[in-house]
Amino acid sequence: MSRPADEVLITTCPRDCYDSCGMRVLKRDGAVVAVRGDPQHPVSRGTLCGKCSTAYNREWRDPARRLTQPLRRVAPKAAASGAMPPFEPVSWEQAIGDIAARLDAIVSTHGPQAILNAHYTGTISLLAGIAPMRFFNRLGATEVTPDTICNMAGHVALRYLYGTSLDGFDPRTAAHAACILVWGANPHASAPHAHEHWLPEAPGKVIVVDPVRTPTAAQADLHLQPFPGSDAALAFALLHVMQRDGLIDEAFVAAHVKGWEELAPRVAALDLAALGAATGVPRASIERAAHWYAPGPSLLWLGQGLQRQISGGNVMRACAMLPALSGNLCKPGAGLLYLNGNLAQRHLDEAYLSGARLASAPLPAVSHMDFANVLEDPRRARALFVWNMNPLASCPQQARLRRALEREDLFTVALELFPTDTTELADYVLPAASFLEFDDLIAPYFNLALSAQVRAMAPLGAALPNLEIFRRLGRAMGFAEREFLESDREILDRLLERSGLDETFDSLKQKGTIFVPPEPCVQFADRSFATPSGRIEIASDAAQADGQPRLPQCRSDPRPAGGRLRLLSPADAWLLNTSFGNVGKIKTRLGTASIALNPADGAERGLHEGETARIVNACGSLDLKVTMWDGLPRGVALVHKGRWLGSEPGHANVNVLNPGVKSDMGESTAVHSVEVTVARAAS
């Protein structure tokens, strides 16, 4: 029997996940021997999700699997294969000096805007996730707008209504909720502990709206299963019932909502039977949901998957009217949540953290939907920085993006923990330290908490924390501002000192996680909304000025025609975006990539369980194993996202089928509106 740990550290999972689990790192003789869930943490309660408990105890701490030294390309990119990439190890001095010289030359000849900065949420901790923007703000590089790959349409839509998309309800108030409506989120995969604890323990009814019968939908009191793209019509159907049955909170609306009088006649004129047919949701279920939700107090959780549609912005505007018109706001157990991402709510100074003052002008920006297009143009893109993401596996237009990354005249620098599909095509690969190897702070985007990420071991090999890499690079480029001189610890201490939270990093380390505020709080308690009118704007002049309809529209996307299916590509419970796609045990568990079809759709195409189908559209094709599942509506196919290309037989994942069409707002992804044909693959 092994000896017990002689040291236990409390830290926090920094993955792009609603849960932000507390963890215990067990050490023996100074070495980390296990990473577990913290039994004292209110979310994890002693258990991590399967993917993290697998990976953090294997690949994450394995120097043979991690990148441990800077690598410089020594062979043409076109020669890159799934085998050993053509790199040679170099010292940090060589790497930093060479990269700085190359960037200087590009700035002189093409301007800083020819340097692209692509990053996302590979880690959500503050120093590793936000503070590197100090370098890019100072440089003036073009930012590939991070949220356009994920949730930008929802942000734009909610800002029209509420003036904010980042100040959601406090999940602790679920104790007061008579109903929780989860719409287009996928907690089983994306918030596993909310699925396992928060929802089942909530005293109220749980309604899930999802085209897929996810495990969360299956355990709900009521599951509404609309056809993808019909969510706005379903929201209007609920409003129609609420209006018909006297469930509109007229007093709240009169005091705090702008535009109901414009919309009300349109809602009254709707035909509930027609809306039921358009959405595929039975009329009785629509009426039951309205009657459970509207009297309240009720919480509405709007998921990010909901708005990854061609009409995702309108969908979010339509759904977000529900709390405003039913008066499910400004009281305990009521509210709506998209993301709790406002650092100021936790008294943290994001502008200081990101070095906003260093930007001499607003950064040039490009949508992820245009990323491949820009990257293949030598006049617009001379260099690319990739950090906290693996774009070749996660971005649209995968084949085109690969060709762009293969440009020999594109100077690509990638910061990573592991060799990935993207690093394979980089000129420099810089080894990043894992969350176990440096101190940081985490502001979870579901619970109103602030957590410490604590250094439990030295970085493997020569790996460095993200921010240290950019600090060294900035200094090598002659950036002399104080932001390039401050140490990590100085930044953490300053952030906490300015917060007024009466915590130092050392005191937070001891506690692991604190709540801010300590007691549950009511969303919009002061009944003030940061819109031009100060009211919740159903009718939005700002939207109209942006070329959007003044009012949310009751509409559904056209159903796929010509034998096509609408392809959904949600998260797998064993992957997180593309994180963990290289973990051996997880790859074994995932098995062969598959497409799920409604059995009737499979039969119509002469397909059988287990055989290979070819999935095709104008963007690409993919061969996948067929599984039949009656948890999907007719006309809908499902392929999980996040697999690494190098592990797949065709060196492609589901994003090879995503043409990068933009949603109606924010130049954001419409990945759940992709349509495909599915047929038996030629043998």
Q: What is the largest CA-CA distance in the chain?
A: 73
- The answer to the question of residue 450 lying near ligand SF4 (CB under 6 A) is no
Residue 125 or 420: the one with the smaller Cβ distance to ligand SF4 is 125
Q: Pick the closer one to ligand SF4 by CB: 243 or 577.
A: 577
Identified binder of ligand SF4 from the candidate list 15, 407, 471, 643, rule CB under 6 A:
15
Structure tokens at 479: 């950036």
Write the interaction track for ligand SF4 spanning residues 36-75; mark x where CB under 6 A is met and - where it is not: --------x---xx--x-----------------------
Measured from the CB atom, the residue of 17 and 133 that comes closer to ligand SF4 is 17
Residue 21 found at the interface with ligand SF4 (CB under 6 A):
yes
Q: How many CA atoms lie within 13 A of 611 on its CB side?
A: 14
- Among 13-21, 134-142, 263-271, 459-467, the segment contacting ligand SF4 (CB under 6 A): 13-21
Is residue 583 at the binding interface for ligand SF4, with CB under 6 A as the rule?
no
Q: Is the peptide bond before 323 cis (omega within 30 degrees of 0)?
A: no
Question: Nearest approach, Cβ of 343 to ligand SF4 (angstroms)?
Answer: 19
Which residue of 9, 10, 17, 329 would you call a contact of ligand SF4, by CB under 6 A? 17
Angle between helix axes 231-244 and 272-279 (nearest 10 degrees) is 150
In contact, 134 and 355? CB cutoff 8 Å: yes
Least Å distance, CB 85 to ligand SF4, is 28
- Identify which of residues 447 and 466 has a Cβ nearer to ligand SF4 in the complex: 447
Which one, 21 or 130, has the nearer CB to ligand SF4?
A: 21
Helix axes 312-326, 152-162, angle to 10 degrees: 40
Identify the CA nearest to 337 among candidates 529, 158, 168: 168
Nearer CB in complex with ligand SF4: 193/223: 193
Q: How far is CA 444 from CA 52, 119, 159, 451, in A?
A: 17, 19, 21, 8
Q: What angle do CA 173, 179, 185 make, to 5 degrees?
A: 85
Alpha-carbon torsion (506, 510, 516, 517), positive or negative: negative
User: Smallest gap, in angstroms, from Cβ of residue 31 to ligand SF4?
Assistant: 22
C-beta atoms surrounding 464 within 10 Å: 21
Contact between 452 and ligand SF4 per CB under 6 A = no
Residue 399: exposed, middle, or buried by beta-carbon count in 10 A (0-12, 13-18, 19+)? middle
Judged by beta carbon, residue 190 or residue 663, the one nearer ligand SF4 is 190
CB of 19 vs ligand SF4, minimal distance in Å: 4
| Rounded Cα–Cα distance for residues 55 and 53 (Å) | 6
The footprint of ligand SF4 on this chain (CB under 6 A) covers a number of residues equal to: 13
Nearest-approach distance from CB 131 to ligand SF4, in angstroms: 21
- In the complex, minimum distance from the CB of residue 602 to ligand SF4, in angstroms, rounded to a whole number: 32
Interface segment toward ligand SF4; rule CB under 6 A; list 9-17, 279-287, 405-413, 622-630: 9-17
The contact mask relative to ligand SF4 for 177-216 (x = CB under 6 A, - = no) is ---------------xx-----------------------
CA distance 42 to 49: 14
Q: How far is the CB of 44 from ligand SF4 (least distance, A)?
A: 6
Instruction: Write the CA distances from 92 to 190, 191, 428, 473, integer angstroms.
Output: 36, 38, 11, 10
Smallest separation, CB 164 to ligand SF4 (Å): 24
CB-wise, 36 or 400, nearer to ligand SF4? Answer: 36
> Residue 225: which of 568, 682, 551, 621 has the closest Cα?
568
In the bound state with ligand SF4, the residue whose beta carbon lies nearer, of 576 and 607, is: 576
- 495: nearest Cα among 431, 435, 452, 547: 452
Provide the 3-class DSSP secondary structure of residue 284: helix
Q: How far is the CB of 56 from ligand SF4 (least distance, A)?
A: 8
| Part in contact with ligand SF4 (CB under 6 A); list of ranges 15-23, 209-217, 398-406, 549-557 | 15-23
Segment (H or E) for 268:
helix 260-268
Contact window for ligand SF4 (CB under 6 A) among 14-22, 62-70, 469-477, 629-637: 14-22
Helices (runs of H) and strands (runs of E) counted in the chain: 25, 27
> Please, what is the minimum distance in Å from the beta carbon of residue 22 to ligand SF4?
9
**CB burial class (10 A; 0-12, 13-18, 19+) of residue 495?**
buried
Least CB distance from residue 52 to ligand SF4, whole Å? 4
Which range binds ligand SF4 by CB under 6 A, 1-9, 12-20, 445-453, 461-469?
12-20
Residue whose pair of structure tokens reads 């990976």 in the numeric block: 55
Structure tokens at 390: 């693996």
Interface with ligand SF4 (CB under 6 A), residue from 9, 10, 11, 13:
13
Looking at beta carbons only, is 17 or 336 nearer to ligand SF4? 17
Distance in Å, CB of 154 to ligand SF4, minimum? 20
Which residue, 12 or 422, has its beta carbon nearer to ligand SF4? 12
DSSP secondary structure of 92-158 = HHHHHHHHHHHHHHHHHHH-GGGEEEEE--S---HHHHTTTHHHHHHHTPEEEEGGGGTTHHHHHHH
CA dihedral (342, 186, 420, 399) in degrees, to 10, reads: -100
Which span (11-19, 79-87, 127-135, 205-213) binds ligand SF4, by CB under 6 A? 11-19
CB nearer to ligand SF4: pick between 48 and 300: 48
Number of neighbours of residue 91 by Cβ within 10 angstroms: 11
- Residue with smaller CB distance to ligand SF4, 131 or 571: 571
With binding defined as CB under 6 A, does residue 19 bind ligand SF4? yes
562-581: which residues touch ligand SF4 (CB under 6 A)?
Answer: 576
Query: Please, what sign has the CA dihedral across residues 564, 569, 574, 577?
Result: positive
Q: Tell me how far, at minimum, the Cβ of 119 lies from ligand SF4, in Å.
A: 19
CB of 309 to ligand SF4, least distance (A): 25
Q: 680's torsion region: left (phi>0), alpha (psi -120 to 50) or beta?
A: beta
Q: Which residues of this chain interact with ligand SF4, rule CB under 6 A?
A: 13, 15, 17, 19-21, 44, 48-49, 52, 192-193, 576
